[in-house]
Structure formats: C-alpha cells, structure tokens
C-alpha cells in the first residue's frame, strides 16, 4: 500500500518537476505538459503564474476583448 502511494506521488509530481526545469515555458506549453490542448486559451497570452502543486494557471496576461469601440482586459 505504501509503495503504491509513493509511486502515485512520483507520477503526480512529474509534470510539475518538468515545468520547474524550464521556468520560461509559455502558458500553451504548460497546458500541453498537463495533457490539455493549447487551444483552450485564447491567442495572445503573454504571461501567467503556475501553481506547481495543482497545475493551475492563474493571472493570465495579454488576454483582452473588444467591447464596442474599446479593448478591455478580461483577466
């Protein structure tokens, strides 16, 4: 039982350790490391913060939407 737990922890932490090897990955590359398609984020993401424990991407930068005649940041 303990061996299974150790193997599980190693497999879960593997994507996080790969991300920590190169901190300059794009948000799209991080998504692909966690087996998500890069297309779930809009084009133009220029910055992000990654919680390596959960794999959650937060504080996206560079994402905006045009409302009537104005461009507004949505994150």
**Number of domains the chain is built from:** 1
**Average pLDDT score over the chain:** 75
Domain that holds residue 61: 2-73
Torsion of Cα atoms, 5 then 8 then 14 then 17, to 10°: -30
Q: What is the mean pLDDT of residues 45-73?
A: 79
Q: Looking at residue 74, what is its pLDDT?
A: 66
Q: What is the mean pLDDT of residues 56-72?
A: 76
pLDDT band at 33 (very low <50, low <70, confident <90, very high): confident
Note whether 60 and 27 are within 8 A (CB): yes
Q: Looking at residue 63, what is its pLDDT?
A: 76
Note whether 65 and 74 are within 8 A (CB): yes
Q: Which of 74, 31, 26, 28 is nearest to 55 (CA)?
A: 31
Distance in angstroms (rounded) separating the CA atoms of residues 58 and 6:
28
């Amino acid at each position: 039982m303990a061996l299974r737990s150790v193997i599980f922890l190693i497999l879960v932490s593997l994507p996080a350790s790969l991300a920590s090897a190169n901190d300059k990955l794009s948000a799209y590359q991080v998504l692909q490391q966690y087996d998500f398609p890069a297309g779930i984020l809009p084009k133009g993401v220029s910055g992000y913060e990654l919680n390596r424990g959960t794999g959650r991407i937060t504080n996206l930068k560079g994402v905006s939407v045009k409302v009537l005649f104005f461009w507004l940041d949505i994150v």
